[in-house]
């Protein structure tokens, strides 16, 4: 670790933005702290009681002073609010061309998966200068994905997906922490993010012993679990055909419409009865306890891969899911 640092290094596009806002907040707070304490001491001495029978006299002033000390703080807090909100919204919206990574939090480790199938534990390799979007699930309790050098921290919540994104600006090795107390070995739930030159990253991606892309593995699982017996691609199955579904609106039996996103597919696997597609019977059994969060992510990727491709013709079948994975940004 070496020398003491007041701030972590700035290694993402978000880092300087967050720091500048923090400097502004610190400057405003310091200024007013000094002003108020200075005034307290000054008035305490200047207007101290000088004799036993001295009485205070009531001062009458106009509204000017009150207006000034209301309007200036109001203006300052509005600056803080809009500045903070704009950074917040920016940090919530991953760009469409972001590299997709999946993370699963588990007592007490981080499992990270690349679209190409590389899996890492407590390590993540990414290229410099490219936006990276991380979709996260938890296998057990709440964890929190915290990379101080990127100024990103996002809770990982059981039962749902959360996302975070960042664009690393410097190559190097950065701390990854779990920032939510999650049990005995919470403090050991740490790892490293390796930010690499794009060429090195390509080499790294090619070098790993990947066992097929996420979508490929999802396809295998889809067949292993016999999902394809009912979700048939020729529309003759007892369950909806999933080709072209991802990212599209789905009509439900109640008359409502939902968007087929990651969360919807996850729910349909674990709680098939929650939302029934219009025109189908609630015949699907739950897969709760039968598939891990990793496997659900693979299934989600498979469904995505047979989803519509932007500006391409209708998808014929799910035979080439791997290719679509990186080149097709997820529709949100
Ligand atoms: Cu996971 Cu703390």
- Closest ligand 1 atom to Cα of 179: 2
Same domain, 178 and 239: no
**Confidence at residue 194, expressed as pLDDT on a 0 to 100 scale:** 94
- Closest ligand 1 atom to Cα of 189: 1
Domain end position, chosen among 211, 240, 271:
211
**Confidence at residue 84, expressed as pLDDT on a 0 to 100 scale:** 96
Q: Which residues neighbour 48 within 8 Å (Cβ) at sequence distance 6 or greater? A: none
pLDDT at 191 over 90: yes
Residue 120 in domain: yes
What separation in Å is there between the alpha carbon of 136 and the centre of ligand 1? 13
Residue 282: pLDDT band with limits 50, 70, 90: confident
Whether residue 189 has its Cβ less than 6 Å from ligand 1: yes
Residue 71: pLDDT band with limits 50, 70, 90: very high
Same domain, 165 and 205: yes
Task: Express each pLDDT in 145-180 by its tens digit.
Answer: 999 999 999 999 998 899 999 999 999 999 999 999
Task: Quickly count: other Cβ atoms within 10 Å of residue 279's Cβ.
Answer: 9
- Report the CATH number that the domain containing residue 177 is assigned in CATH: 2.60.40.420
What separation in Å is there between the alpha carbon of 183 and the centre of ligand 1? 7
Whether residue 143 has its Cβ less than 6 Å from ligand 1: yes
The residue segments making up the domain with residue 30 are 1-43+94-211
What separation in Å is there between the alpha carbon of 1 and the centre of ligand 1? 22
Residue 222 in domain: yes
Same domain, 154 and 271: no
Alpha helices in the chain (DSSP H): 14-46, 64-92, 198-207, 214-224, 227-230, 262-270, 293-305, 321-327
Give the separation between CA 298 and CA 159, rounded to whole angstroms.
Answer: 16
Residue 80 in domain: no
Same domain, 163 and 263: no
What separation in Å is there between the alpha carbon of 286 and the centre of ligand 1? 28
- Closest ligand 1 atom to Cα of 182: 2
Task: Express each pLDDT in 26-42 by its tens digit.
Answer: 999 999 999 999 999 99
Give the separation between CA 332 and CA 75, rounded to whole angstroms.
Answer: 36
**What Rg, from alpha-carbon coordinates, does the chain have?**
27
Q: How many domains are contained in the chain?
A: 2
Same domain, 179 and 251: no
pLDDT at 309 over 60: no
Domain end position, chosen among 211, 230, 246:
211
Q: Is the peptide bond before 108 cis (omega within 30 degrees of 0)?
A: yes
Task: Express each pLDDT in 202-229 by its tens digit.
Answer: 888 877 656 778 788 888 888 888 888 7
Whether residue 180 has its Cβ less than 6 Å from ligand 1: yes
HEC string for 160-205: CCEEEEECECCCEEEEEEECCCCCCCHHHCCEEEEEECHHHHHHHH
> Whose C-alpha lies nearest to ligand 1, atom 1?
143
The answer to whether the beta carbons of residues 297 and 216 sit under 8 Å apart is: no
**Mean pLDDT estimate for the chain:** 85
Same domain, 160 and 265: no
Residue 146 in domain: yes
What's the pTM? 0.70
Same domain, 243 and 128: no
Give the separation between CA 76 and CA 59, rounded to whole angstroms.
Answer: 28
């Amino acid at each position: 670790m070496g020398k003491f640092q007041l701030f972590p290094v700035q290694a993402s596009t978000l880092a300087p933005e967050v720091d500048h806002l923090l400097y502004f907040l610190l400057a405003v707070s310091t200024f007013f702290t000094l002003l108020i304490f200075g005034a307290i001491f000054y008035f305490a001495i200047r207007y101290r009681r000088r004799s036993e029978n001295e009485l205070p006299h009531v001062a009458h002033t106009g509204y000017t002073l009150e207006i000034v000390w209301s309007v200036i703080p109001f203006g300052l807090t509005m600056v803080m609010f809009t500045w903070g909100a704009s950074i917040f919204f920016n940090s919530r919206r991953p760009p469409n061309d972001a590299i997709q990574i999946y993370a699963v939090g588990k007592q007490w480790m981080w499992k990270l998966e690349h679209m190409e199938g590389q899996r890492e534990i407590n390590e993540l390799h990414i290229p410099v200068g490219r936006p990276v979007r991380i979709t996260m699930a938890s296998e057990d309790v709440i964890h929190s994905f915290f990379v101080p050098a990127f100024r990103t921290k996002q809770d990982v919540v059981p039962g749902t997906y959360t996302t975070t994104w960042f664009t690393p600006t410097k190559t190097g090795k950065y701390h990854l922490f779990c920032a939510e107390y999650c049990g005995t070995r919470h403090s050991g739930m740490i790892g490293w993010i390796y930010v690499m030159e794009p060429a090195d990253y390509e080499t790294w991606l090619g070098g790993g012993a990947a066992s097929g892309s996420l979508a490929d593995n999802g396809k295998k699982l889809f067949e292993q679990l016999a999902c394809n017996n009912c979700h048939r691609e020729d529309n003759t199955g007892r369950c909806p055909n999933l080709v072209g579904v991802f990212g599209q609106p789905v009509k439900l039996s109640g008359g409502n419409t939902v968007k087929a996103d990651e969360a919807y597919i996850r729910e349909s696997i674990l709680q098939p009865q929650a939302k029934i597609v219009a025109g189908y019977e609630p015949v699907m059994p739950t897969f709760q306890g039968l598939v891990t969060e990793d496997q659900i992510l693979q299934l989600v990727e498979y469904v995505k891969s047979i989803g519509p491709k932007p500006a391409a013709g209708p998808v014929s079948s799910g035979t080439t899911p791997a290719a679509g994975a990186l080149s097709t940004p997820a529709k949100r």
